[in-house]
């Protein structure tokens, strides 16, 4: 069974032992485990969906918003997408052992810089059971062990998925403890996980600002935050307005409960009267609650737009709500984004190359889009096969956390008897 009944420390110690075995595993063995995982996902789809239905019906999930229930819900299509993602990871080049640099030193030593696994990665995440598979696939291929701590309201789903991966690992001759699921414990368990020095090499929390704050209070292991996404779409004065209408709608509505969905729409004052009524009508027709500044409300025509509070500009709604502001040019848009954004994903819609370059260079974010939706910030879309999350930090990784972001490097020096004088 993948959900353990041991302590957090015991689980992390087991993962540490397994990490030694998977770090030196051949690419063929790792790919065999991934192919077996994909096959078992397809063969046991009904079993996975039954476990997920149990989670959705459980009292733990009763108070979830519809957006969070959507993140928790699995469908045959989503299970198939998980299997596809695992196979994509298997098809990627193995990062372990990749040579990053080679040179001969004055001493005669031949120095190589090579990519190696981190060791034990721990991931804390909420709702989305597919994260279990994405994380496991990426850590297996990158030669790491992983300790997974999902939400209590997704415990059945996560357990079923982790058990499949462990079976696939064992079948490929790899240590099954390279993937361990802790289930959904309380805050005490979270603190235990965040303080496993010497056992956990990197902790990645996926969740909102509350989770981030809770871990910051107690963590003694290295942490890389897959943080919140307060993302913006700015429609420039030189934008193609039909293109802007499609992009703004997609960025908000296509899947509003995820971190790369847009939460704020910025409209240039020069085109607001021509653009705002149509796009805001689109959003309202899709059920989006709109709040805005005085100029946005004045330009909305017949569309209802409530007054925005100061908190609205800093909010990640993760649902069908959007803030709208009018700005005087690209520099004011950049200033608004940098003041209120979380450094996740930002977009400009414009036909002006000068405005695009100003926005790209001026906005401080992990991903910046010109004439495209923010919804593309995703490891799958970026050709990584999957992702563990999106980092808004600058060290040691930024943007989608894929295989290479789960590695570090070592220097290997070869000589023929050199000693330092």
CA atoms of 44 and 47, how far apart (whole Å): 5
The tokens describing 191, both together, are 């603190």
Beta bridge partners of 345: 367
pTM: 0.86
Q: What is the pLDDT of residue 4?
A: 45
CA atoms of 279 and 301, how far apart (whole Å): 11
CA atoms of 261 and 336, how far apart (whole Å): 17
Beta bridge partners of 203: 122, 223
The tokens describing 241, both together, are 């307005």
**CATH class of the region 231-376:** alpha beta
The tokens describing 294, both together, are 């005085």
Q: What is the pLDDT of residue 384?
A: 87
Domain limits, the chain: 8-226+388-414, 231-376
Q: What is the pLDDT of residue 67?
A: 76
CA atoms of 14 and 8, how far apart (whole Å): 10
Burial (CB < 10 A; 0-12, 13-18, 19+), residue 274, is exposed
Q: What is the CATH number of domain 8-226+388-414?
A: 3.40.605.10
Walk along the chain (421 residues) and give the pLDDT tens digit of each residue: 344 468 999 999 999 999 999 999 999 999 999 999 999 999 999 999 999 999 999 987 888 888 788 889 999 999 999 999 999 999 999 999 999 999 999 999 999 999 999 999 999 988 789 999 999 999 999 999 999 999 889 999 999 999 999 999 999 999 999 999 997 666 778 899 999 999 999 999 987 778 888 899 999 999 998 878 999 999 999 999 999 999 999 999 999 988 999 999 999 999 999 999 999 999 999 999 999 999 999 999 999 999 999 999 999 998 999 999 999 999 999 999 999 999 999 999 999 999 999 999 999 999 999 999 999 999 889 988 888 989 988 888 899 999 999 999 999 999 999 999 9
Q: Cβ contacts of residue 26 below 8 Å, gap of 6+?
A: none
Q: What is the pLDDT of residue 380?
A: 86
Q: What is the pLDDT of residue 92?
A: 96
Q: What is the pLDDT of residue 3?
A: 47
Q: What is the pLDDT of residue 185?
A: 64
Q: What is the pLDDT of residue 184?
A: 66
């Amino acid at each position: 069974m993948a959900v353990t009944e041991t302590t957090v420390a015991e689980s992390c110690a087991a993962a540490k032992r397994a990490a030694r075995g998977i770090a030196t595993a051949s690419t063929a063995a790792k790919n065999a485990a991934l192919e077996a995982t994909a096959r078992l996902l397809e063969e046991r789809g009904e079993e996975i969906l039954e476990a997920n239905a149990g989670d959705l019906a459980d009292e733990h999930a009763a108070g979830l918003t519809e957006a969070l229930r959507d993140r928790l819900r699995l469908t045959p299509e989503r299970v198939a997408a998980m299997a596809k993602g695992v196979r994509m990871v298997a098809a990627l080049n193995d990062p372990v052992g990749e040579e990053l640099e080679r040179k001969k030193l004055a001493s005669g030593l031949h120095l190589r810089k090579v990519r190696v696994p981190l060791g034990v990665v721990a991931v804390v995440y909420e709702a989305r059971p597919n994260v279990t598979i994405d994380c496991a696939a990426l850590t297996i291929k990158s030669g790491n062990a992983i300790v997974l701590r999902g939400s209590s309201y997704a415990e059945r789903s996560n357990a079923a998925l982790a058990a499949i991966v462990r079976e696939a690992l064992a079948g490929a001759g790899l240590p099954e403890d390279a993937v361990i699921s802790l289930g959904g414990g309380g805050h005490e368990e979270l603190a235990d996980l965040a303080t496993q020095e010497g056992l956990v090499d990197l902790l990645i929390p996926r969740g909102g600002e509350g989770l981030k704050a809770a871990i910051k209070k107690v963590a003694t292991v290295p942490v890389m935050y897959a943080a919140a996404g307060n993302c913006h779409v700015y429609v420039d004065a030189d934008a193609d307005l039909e293109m802007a209408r499609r992009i703004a709608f997609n960025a908000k509505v296509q899947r509003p409960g995820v971190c790369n969905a847009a939460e704020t729409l910025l409209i240039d004052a020069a085109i607001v009267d021509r653009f705002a009524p149509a796009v805001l009508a689109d959003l309202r027709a899709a059920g989006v609650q709109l709040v805005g500044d005085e100029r946005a409300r004045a330009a909305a025509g017949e569309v209802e737009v409530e007054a925005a509070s100061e908190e609205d500009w800093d909010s990640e709604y993760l649902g069908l709500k959007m803030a709208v502001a009018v700005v005087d040019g690209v520099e004011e848009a950049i200033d608004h984004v940098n003041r209120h954004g979380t450094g996740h994903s930002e977009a400009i819609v414009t036909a002006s190359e000068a405005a695009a370059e100003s926005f790209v260079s001026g906005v401080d974010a992990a991903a910046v889009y010109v004439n495209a939706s923010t919804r593309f910030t995703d490891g799958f879309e970026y050709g990584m096969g999957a992702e563990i999350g999106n980092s808004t930090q600058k060290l040691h990784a930024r943007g989608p956390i894929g295989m290479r972001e789960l590695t570090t490097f070592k220097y290997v020096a070869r000589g023929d008897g050199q000693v330092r004088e």
